[in-house]
Every structure is written in C-alpha cells, then in structure tokens.
Amino acid sequence: MRYWHLDRAAPSGPIDLSQVTGLVAAIGQADASSFATEVLNTLGAAARISQCTIFAYEFGNRPRTVSVADHRGGRFLRDVADVYSKLYYVLDGNQGIVSSAQPARSSASMVIHQQGSDEIVHEG
C-alpha cells in the first residue's frame, strides 16, 4: 500500500470554466449523485476512473456517504458505499492513512492512496 500527499499545482493555463461551474453547481443539489457525477464527468477520462464515491470523514466518526456515481448508472453503488461505511471501513487500509493524518499543510490539498486487492486481508 502506498500513498502520497500532493501539493497544489501552480495554474499552468486556462481552466475550462464550464467544467468548474458544473462542479460547483452540483454541490448541495437535491440529487445526491450530482456531485460525484460531475467529478466523474470532469476527471473520468483523464484519471481513467469509472466510479466515484465521496465520503465525509467528520470528527473521528465513521465515514458518511456523500455522493456516488458510476458509468453503469450506479443502481447499487450507494448501497455498497453505505454497507462499507457501516461495516467494512475499519478494515480498509486507508483508515490508517485517514486516522493518522496530520493537520493539512497549507500547500497540501489531496492524499492519493493506492492499494491492490492482494493487500486487503479481510475477505468481507
């Protein structure tokens, strides 16, 4: 299992305003999948992702499912995310990273975590 703290990159060129406004407009929409759908639409091709699940880690509590989306319509993705956040998150390797995280440096904006299926020890 590996992880990296990424620093904010200096702007290197123009930003597609339509993508940024779509992301911002999706925050707080009545449709809970709006934000994850916009993240998937904006970053899906560049990052080669096919699903997006956004959890909130608040005050040391178990994660809360905020938004989910995938290219298949996400019919069961929210259920999977909710079961994960209730039962399996404590077994996830990323919990060591999340729970031991130091307060963010002013330049750090994201943590990327890579974990292979062979590194998941619990069968559930």
Q: Do 8 and 107 meet the contact criterion of CB atoms below 8 Å apart?
A: yes
Helix (H, G, I), strand (E, B) or coil at 13: coil
Residue at token pair 């178990």: 62
**pLDDT tens-digit profile of 94-119?**
777 766 655 555 455 566 666 677 87
**pLDDT tens-digit profile of 21-52?**
888 888 888 888 888 888 888 877 777 778 88
Residue at token pair 């130091």: 102
Q: Model's pTM, two decimal places?
A: 0.70
12, 65, 77, 110 from 71: Cα distances, Å: 30, 18, 11, 24
pLDDT of residue 52: 87
In the chain, where the domains are located: 17-103
